[in-house]
Amino acid sequence: MPDPMPAAVRSGRLRALRQPTLPVDELLLRPWRLSDAHAVVGAYQNPDIRRWHVRSMEEHEVSAWLASWSRRWQEETGAGWAVTADDVLVGRVGFRRIDLGEGVAEIGYWTLPPARGRGVATRAARAVTAWMFTHVGLHRIELSHSAVNPASCRIAEKAGFAYEGTKRRQGLHQDGWHDMHFHARLAEDEEAGPVSTDR
């Protein structure tokens, strides 16, 4: 009987690495800390963040959410970074799903209103994507967003994630089912070049 297909990235590769702190221009992407709790609760009071990320973040939830990121790194199932400027939280970026066997991850992000319009999410997404390709060896990173969220679509395209299609009524939001746009970036894709925007 033939051997099964080997894993795209061997188990243990991610947890063998220390989660990096990544400087990006005036931004610093760093692992979450329990001391970020108050800022995270405040961020999820923003209606846009609550709408598109389909969750609340109450005081009783936030400590477990923050602590989960270091556990998920060790389990090699996810990775999250606080995006800061002058040690103030301005956004988040991370991988809600990592599958080393398939060499695939799914990225997500948000930016607080005062930091919007400055390319924060785009630059953060580029930085963590490049790190995952270079240091972990992932093959593909995926990104999805509601079809009626054009701001997230612009971020995806500027970060080099090519549009691949629409899944009808795939995402459940507070106001019902949404069509979801799917984007992806491959390890061999050129750095942040033009991508297809055909719908």
Task: Look at residue 113 and tell me whether its pLDDT is greater than 80.
Answer: yes
Task: Look at residue 146 and tell me whether its pLDDT is greater than 50.
Answer: yes
Task: Look at residue 133 and tell me whether its pLDDT is greater than 60.
Answer: yes
Could you give the maximum distance between any two Cα atoms of the chain, in Å? 59
- The residue-averaged pLDDT of 150-170 equals 95
Q: Going from the N-terminus, what domains does the chain have, and what CATH number goes with each?
A: 22-186 (3.40.630.30)
DSSP of the chain: -PPPPPPSS-TTTTTTSPPPPEEETTEEEEE--GGGHHHHHHHTTSHHHHHHHT----HHHHHHHHHHHHHHHHHTS-EEEEEEETTEEEEEEEEEEEETTTTEEEEEEEE-GGGTTSSHHHHHHHHHHHHIIIII--SEEEEEEETT-HHHHHHHHHTT-EEEEEEEEEEEETTEEEEEEEEEEETTS-TT-------
11-51 residue pLDDT tens: 999 999 999 999 999 999 999 999 999 999 999 999 888 87
Task: Look at residue 150 and tell me whether its pLDDT is greater than 60.
Answer: yes
Does this model's pTM top 0.85?
yes
52-111 residue pLDDT tens: 777 778 888 999 999 999 999 999 999 999 999 999 999 999 999 999 999 999 999 999
- pLDDT at residue 194, rounded to an integer: 39
**CA–CA dist 156, 158 (Å, integer):** 6
